[in-house]
Chains A and B, each alone.
Chain A
Amino acid sequence: MSAIWIAVLGASLTAFLNKYIGHSVPEKWLNRPTFMRINALVPIVLLSALVAVQTFANKKELVLDQRAAGVFVALLALKFKAPFPVVVVLAAITSASIYNWF
């Protein structure tokens, strides 16, 4: 089985376990203040790191290319409260314009 298949099936299994456990355990098992504070920060750090890597990494090299321009435009769009699909499309148009014309 390829690594991608392992990732697809493995992550699907743990995702379901996460969801099912929540419906099945007593509340006090998970509801602890320090734990909740850490948990609130987990998506922030992981997603921030993902944005950084997807924007500036090319394999193991850091590069500044059309993607950074696209993501910067997305950031501006979010600041102006644009809806998600608009944010994504603006990023794509910006990046594609630079890639194709320069």
Chain B
Amino acid sequence: MSVNPKKKQVDRTALSVALTVGLYGAAFGAAGVTAGFSILQTCLLSILLFSGASQFAVVGIMGAGGAAISAIATATLLGFRNALYGLQMAPILKVKGIRRVLAAQITIDESTAVATLQDNDEDRKRGFYLTGVGVYIFWNLFTFLGALGASAIGNPSVWGLDAAVPAAFLGLIWPRLKNKLQFIVSAIAIAWALLLTPITPAGIPIITTVLLAIVFGVKK
């Protein structure tokens, strides 16, 4: 078999993305346990839900005492971008049946991003699957280790886990803030959530910020 240097490059990108993002799973594992989820519940979110921002939202809202419906609604809205990634990937992957189910499960930010970096469909496919499967493996492994570590800790404040969780969210938003409008909308969402916190049930201050996205999105 001849060695194709381009292929090797796709593999290297996929692996480094999978490892870096996977490590982040430890922060999620710790966040889950800190929020009062069992190790099993925390790991199931990584196995079944498998989309970072949505997972952090579920444990964040439930941990703050929110209702399950607030957590589900917030996670669903955050996960809608994966539907758009699916639209983008479907004509390249061309899969049906059980293969489509598996491809759908690994349709996330990272797998789609690595795929779109490639310049032909064969490499796009390879990048998508390698990154998706790689992130899946490392994300789940590190979720378990993070959950295990956090459950051995006791009081999360002693180890700074109480700040690690919002810092992890911040790390998720940061790459999305690219222009002035986005910064302004982010600032308004923060003010809105803090204003509502003392006067509404937990979870409401978060899910209602979607109204801001609609107002600013329609306005153009």
Q: Please, which residues of chain B bring their CB within 8 A of the CB of A37? A: 217-218, 220
Contact of A46 among B104, B170, B209 (CB under 8 A): B209
* A10 and B50 alpha carbons, distance in the complex (Å): 13
The answer to whether B198 and A38 have CB atoms under 8 Å apart is no
A-B pair number, CB within 8 angstroms: 314
Instruction: Kindly report which residue of chain A lies nearest to residue B172, judged by CB atoms.
Output: A47
The answer to whether B212 and A41 have CB atoms under 8 Å apart is yes
| Partner-binding segment picked from B1-9, B118-126, B133-141, B157-165 | B157-165
The answer to whether A49 and B209 have CB atoms under 8 Å apart is yes
The answer to whether B48 and A16 have CB atoms under 8 Å apart is yes
The answer to whether B177 and A54 have CB atoms under 8 Å apart is no
* A92 and B56 alpha carbons, distance in the complex (Å): 17
A22-B83, A94-B160 are contacts. A84–B20 as well, Cβ < 8 Å? Answer: yes
Q: Please, which residues of chain B bring their CB within 8 A of the CB of A88? A: 24, 27, 164, 167-168, 171
Chain A binding surface SS class:
helix
The tally of residues in A whose CB lies under 8 Å from a CB in B reads 75
Contact of A21 among B67, B74, B86 (CB under 8 A): B86
A15-B75, A40-B217, A78-B174 are contacts. A5–B41 as well, Cβ < 8 Å? Answer: yes
Place the interface of chain B in its size category: 35 or more
A22-B84, A84-B20 are contacts. A34–B57 as well, Cβ < 8 Å? Answer: no
The answer to whether B36 and A4 have CB atoms under 8 Å apart is yes
Q: Please, which residues of chain B bring their CB within 8 A of the CB of A66? A: 157, 160, 162-163
Chain B residues 41-73 with CB under 8 Å of chain A are: 41, 44-45, 48-51, 53-54, 56-58, 60-62, 64-65, 67-68, 71-72
Q: List the interface of chain B (C-beta within 8 A of A).
A: 20, 23-24, 27, 36-37, 41, 44-45, 48-51, 53-54, 56-58, 60-62, 64-65, 67-68, 71-72, 74-90, 93, 95, 100-101, 103-105, 107, 157-174, 176-177, 182, 185-187, 189-190, 192-194, 197-199, 202, 205-207, 209-210, 212-214, 216-218, 220
Top 7 nearest A-B pairs (CB, nearest first) are A22-B86, A70-B163, A38-B217, A92-B160, A95-B163, A96-B160, A91-B167
